[in-house]
Amino acid sequence: MRKYFNVIISGESFKSSKPNPECYRITLDKLGFLPSETVIVEDSTTGIEAGKSMGCRVFAIKNYYGEKELSKADKIFKNHEHILHCLINAQKHL
């Protein structure tokens, strides 16, 4: 796995689970990113809450929850492919 990723973090690395933002705080520290530079992709209400409490932008994917439950996310997408399309288009306009 290290061949493909510089940092690997799993749920076992944390004392508390979401909505506690510990997982995102530690991950951002290890990667050297600020919350203002980060977009988190989530499919759960607790994950959205954790990401937002860190000050990150959060994109939600409709999976188990509908738009009403995911409404605290900055943007809601149908799937990962739609997120990728949005990011590619945004990059073209920068």
Instruction: Express each pLDDT in 24-52 by its tens digit.
Output: 999 999 999 999 999 999 999 999 999 99
pTM: 0.86
Q: Is the pLDDT of residue 91 over 80?
A: no
| Domain extent for 41 | 11-92
Q: Is residue 77 in a domain?
A: yes
Q: What is the pLDDT of residue 4?
A: 84
Q: Average pLDDT of the chain? A: 91
Say if 2 falls within a structural domain.
no
Which pLDDT value is given to residue 92? 75
pLDDT bin (cut points 50, 70, 90) of residue 94 is low
> DSSP string of 5-69?
-S----GGG-SS-TTSTHHHHHHHHHHT--GGG-EEEESSHHHHHHHHHTT-EEEEE-SSS-TTT
Count of structural domains within the chain: 1
Task: Find the CATH number of the domain harbouring 30.
Answer: 3.40.50.1000
Structure confidence at residue 1 (pLDDT): 59
